[in-house]
Structure 1
Amino acid sequence: MQLDDQLLAGHIPAQDRRVRLLLDSGRLQEAEAAFDELVAVGSDLVDSQWCRSAVLVHRASLAWRLGRLSLALELVSEGWTEMDVQSPSGASAAYTVSMLGYLLEAVGRRGSARTLFALSIEVARNSEDSDALAYCLGSAGIARGFHADDSGDRADFIAARDLCAEAESVARAGRIQRSSKAGKASALAGLGEQEDAEAAAREALSQASRAQDYFTAALANRVLSGLRREQHRLEEARAHAHNALDGAQMVNATSLTMRFSWYLATICAELGDPAAEAAALRVSVQAGQTSVKLLSESLGQALEQRRVAIQARRMALEAQEAALRDPLTGLINRLGLERLAPPMLDRCATNGRAPWLVLLDVDWFKDVNDIAGHPVGDVVLQEVANLLLRECRSGDLICRWAGDEFVILLVDESEDSRGAGPTVAERIRAAVDSHDWRLVLGGVTTPPTVSIGITRGQSDLQQLFANADIALYQAKRAGRNRVASIPNSGAPN
């Protein structure tokens, strides 16, 4: 799905939009040179006025289309990492999530892509930005149409038709409206509504030809080729299929090139033209070898792994004492807690205050690892760590103790903190329970919750931990996703 420059203007810098326009107009050498200039400047210099995650994911889509596969992986991972720990909101976030869906769709991760497309539509609707909504609907509709072509499922064709029709009605005149019209034509053809499909495809092709919109022209030509094939007008079907393939190659759309060249080969076979069939098949094989076939089985997991690595590396660089930090979450580790807690406890005792110790455990975490995979489990732990940082106070000591266990030492010395433990613990529990986990899990498994045990007292760290552990066990036995407290006889009144 291509973006109009006027729609991107509020979300992507002019230099980035120029590369996309060059690609969309088939000026590949100029696009390569302009993209090299962007890469030379680097992502760290993205101006603060732009949504950084949107810029990075947009650059990843450019790198993908230019065949820079490793760079595309790096950029999309960094862009994904930049997404706010809170639920995505606003038009820039909608574009970003939709582009992530496009990249996952391009490498065959259709289930995850469909989840992200749905989320992007939800975010766009909430943003009340009609341009963003039109783009997200159109992207999802065209992708769903390709699913329908492969599966022949009538429900997929209906969903594709409805998504593209709404996108067409919402979009202003331009590229999004044209491509949505072409996507709708494809779905109508799949539903057997040939007259309506013909009219929509011809109108989209006419508009695309005037605007030199090769992507939309390719989609429309593919629809017309299918209609002619159904009518047994194979020479015309082949001509339209050739035009569809030429358009896909013109804008360097590898997945479309594979799809359309294979389709052209089947028509050539029906015409009894083995030479043309072989030529079309060579194009399909070449496209597969350069990108999609190479990465379709591995990029999904590598994407999550690279995201984790970038996040851990960034946090490690910011840590003043790397030996006391957990490399995955950036929180202090067990050694850090054991070194930093005693002097803090001593200060509290001197001031007549009793700190709270909060011990939490991620519920059913083994299921996340077993069903979604360990790389996704690592991302879940990162998200929990980020929520802890958000919900706790600046003076609190937050630790990843081991595995999916976290410890927080609440040592607010500036005020009476007798009620701090239950308040903070419940806030953490609610934050994890209400967090939007779809970007991480994609609906693969049940969203995680946490069970929390708390205690308060002036005793040493070992005794506080032992009491909090008993409370945590009580929370688990009581049904999980709850807070339990156990008193400490050493706590002052």
Structure 2
Amino acid sequence: MAGHIPAQDRQVRQLLNAGGFTKADAAFDELIAGGANFVDERWVRSTVLVHRALLAWRLGRIPLALELITEGWTELDTRPPSGGSSAHTVSMLGYILESIGRRGPAMDLMSLAVQIARDAGDQPALAHCALREGVSRVFQAAGDQDQANHQFAAARDLCEEAQSLAKPGGIKSCALACLARSLSGLGDVETAERIAQEALTLGRDAANLYAVGMANWVLAHVRRSQGVLTEARTFASRALENAENIRESALMMHFSRELAEICRELGDPVGEAAALRRAVSAAVSAVDILKEGLGQALEQRRVATQAQRMAMAAREAALRDPLTGLANRLGLERLAPVLLERTAAAGRIPWLVLLDVDWFKEVNDFAGHTAGDVVLQEVANLLRRECRAGDLLCRWAGDEFVVLLVDAAEDSREAGPVVAERIRSAVNSHDWRLVLGRLEKKPTVSIGVAAGPNDLEQLFASADIALYKAKRAGRNRVETDGEEIDPS
């Protein structure tokens, strides 16, 4: 794995495997403070991120672990996984999933990682990935008698391959310990004992308490199968102590259950009770980690969803007029091209209705700007009432409004003028007394209407000319294509 992970990252892992959590914690702080700028081209970003997530997980830094997992997994998703680095990444993701109880998906990822490493011809990566899958299968076999032989056999093949590819040290010692447990599970106790003793020596030399704990666990199982229960209890106690020193809850649960069963067979109820308490403590610790991890994941999801909603709301707010709630000028310019294209594709004629509130200056001068704002809001409400949901309503500027009719029936050649006259009539007949009292000149609207082409600027220019004609002709009327529509 040295070719795939920076030396400082490997140092933290070695400290954890040796039980040096205080030093590992300080080294990890330095590691994270350095950021994620991996200058060596061998170090694939996703691999390093997920490896750091695994370190954070073991250190109990669940929020950071989840953040790093998410970032690393996202990096991996940008391309199909291939090569040794991707194999490591996928395998570590499987390990983390297994740590939170997602055993099925975890095994799928671990098996995939082995295949990726094998296809890449990367022997060091294959050793690591095969070992992770082998350890996982050993623990599954120890807890499922129905599948035990199948799982032990698969684990044996994986660990034989892993130990043959690994250099002497922590990885080889772990592979040998896992191989020994597979063999003891398959009944080859003599070979299992010999390999476990070799793994124990290598693990001690490499200061790898994971391998030492696994080897002691195997020797406990061997002595138990031989009926030498006192020695079995000693080995199981050592294994459990090793697991507790490196805070590996999965090992702690397996080893404490083994110790409890040995104590029961020895007729040692005190030792059995103590082992069961340690098993419960390990299980509670694992559940707490799982709960915290899920809680943090949910919180992160909630925050992300909230941020997404706020961003969407901000984008929508940028396209809306705060006074009337209608689209603003930017909203019209953004949305109109899409609606016009849709109208053209349906073979329909788009209409643009441009209206201006008559006598609006008098409203502001004599009734005040607050009353003027209410008039604009009332006009907006009348537009909503007289138009369809598919029409685009906009406050263009000041007291000018735009209605883009894009959903008119194909045979309705007069849709624009018809809707415009309906709007004019609604404003003209509206009761303004609650807003304006006895103001002499009540608000009306002058409207210009234009049809096609499917270009907003041309439509607006034509409608603006028609609106100017309506104003010049006395206001409170609709003009379209040079033709006047008399008010009723």
Q: CA deviation at 1:246?
A: 1.8
Q: 1:176 aligns with which of 147, 171, 175?
A: 171
Supply the distance in 1 between the matched residues of 2:7 and 2:307 (Cα, whole angstroms): 28
Q: 1:180 to 1:318 in 2, by over 3 A?
A: farther
Does 1:150 find its partner at 2:143?
yes
Q: CA deviation at 1:46?
A: 5.3
| Match of residue 60 from structure 1 | 53
> 1:294 corresponds to which letter in structure 2?
D
Supply the distance in 2 between the matched residues of 1:339 and 1:92 (Cα, whole angstroms): 48
Residues 257-272 of structure 1 aligned to structure 2 (within 5 Å): 257-272=252-267
2:138–2:181 CA contact under 8 A, matched in 1: yes
Q: CA deviation at 1:312?
A: 7.5
Q: CA deviation at 1:244?
A: 0.9
| Match of residue 35 from structure 1 | 28
Q: 1:284 to 1:12 in 2, by over 3 A?
A: same
Supply the distance in 2 between the matched residues of 1:253 and 1:74 (Cα, whole angstroms): 21
- CA RMSD in angstroms comes to 3.7
| Match of residue 103 from structure 2 | 110
Supply the distance in 2 between the matched residues of 1:115 and 1:12 (Cα, whole angstroms): 23
> 1:187 corresponds to which letter in structure 2?
S
Does 1:207 find its partner at 2:213?
no
Secondary structure (helix, strand or coil) at the match of 2:87 reads helix
Q: 1:300 to 1:262 in 2, by over 3 A?
A: same
Supply the distance in 2 between the matched residues of 1:90 and 1:268 (Cα, whole angstroms): 47
Supply the distance in 1 between the matched residues of 2:170 and 2:101 (Cα, whole angstroms): 25
Q: 1:177 to 1:146 in 2, by over 3 A?
A: same
Residues 230-309 of structure 1 aligned to structure 2 (within 5 Å): 230-290=225-285, 292-296=286-290
Q: CA deviation at 1:77?
A: 2.2
| Match of residue 19 from structure 1 | 12
Q: 1:119 to 1:241 in 2, by over 3 A?
A: same
Q: 1:343 to 1:113 in 2, by over 3 A?
A: same
Secondary structure (helix, strand or coil) at the match of 1:86 reads coil
Q: Give CA deviations for 1:169-216 in whole Å, capped at 9, x if unaligned.
A: 222333222211111111111111112212221221122223222111
Q: 1:129 aligns with which of 122, 126, 132?
A: 122
Q: Give CA deviations for 1:412-471 in whole Å, capped at 9, x if unaligned.
A: xxxxxxxxxxxxxxxxxxxxxxxxxxxxxxxxxxxxxxxxxxxxxx989xxxxxxxxxxx
Supply the distance in 1 between the matched residues of 2:150 and 2:317 (Cα, whole angstroms): 54
Q: CA deviation at 1:241?
A: 0.4
Residues 375-390 of structure 1 aligned to structure 2 (within 5 Å): none
Q: 1:318 to 1:21 in 2, by over 3 A?
A: farther
Q: 1:18 to 1:346 in 2, by over 3 A?
A: same
Q: 1:89 to 1:293 in 2, by over 3 A?
A: same
| Match of residue 188 from structure 2 | 193
Instruction: Determine which structure has greater relative contact order: mean sequence separation of CA pairs < 8 Å that are 6+ residues apart, divided by chain length.
Output: 1
Secondary structure (helix, strand or coil) at the match of 1:138 reads helix
1:80–1:307 CA contact under 8 A, matched in 2: no
> 2:52 corresponds to which letter in structure 1?
R
TM-score normalized with structure 2 length: 0.60
List gaps (5 residues or longer) in structure 2.
319-329, 346-452, 456-488
1:218–1:247 CA contact under 8 A, matched in 2: yes
Supply the distance in 1 between the matched residues of 2:295 and 2:220 (Cα, whole angstroms): 37
Supply the distance in 1 between the matched residues of 2:229 and 2:90 (Cα, whole angstroms): 40
| Match of residue 71 from structure 1 | 64
Supply the distance in 1 between the matched residues of 2:124 and 2:118 (Cα, whole angstroms): 10
Supply the distance in 2 between the matched residues of 1:182 and 1:250 (Cα, whole angstroms): 18
List gaps (5 residues or longer) in structure 1.
1-6, 326-335, 348-353, 355-457, 461-493
Supply the distance in 2 between the matched residues of 1:15 and 1:241 (Cα, whole angstroms): 33
Q: CA deviation at 1:323?
A: 4.4
Number of residues paired by the alignment? 336
Supply the distance in 1 between the matched residues of 2:179 and 2:193 (Cα, whole angstroms): 11
Supply the distance in 2 between the matched residues of 1:122 and 1:312 (Cα, whole angstroms): 36
1:54–1:95 CA contact under 8 A, matched in 2: yes
> 1:100 corresponds to which letter in structure 2?
L
Q: CA deviation at 1:346?
A: 8.5
Supply the distance in 2 between the matched residues of 1:124 and 1:117 (Cα, whole angstroms): 11
Q: CA deviation at 1:75?
A: 2.2
Q: Give CA deviations for 1:141-182 in whole Å, capped at 9, x if unaligned.
A: 111111011112211111111111111222233322221111
Q: CA deviation at 1:342?
A: 5.2
Q: 1:47 to 1:318 in 2, by over 3 A?
A: farther
When Rg is computed on C-alpha atoms for both structures, the one with the higher figure is 2
1:56–1:75 CA contact under 8 A, matched in 2: yes
Supply the distance in 1 between the matched residues of 2:193 and 2:270 (Cα, whole angstroms): 30
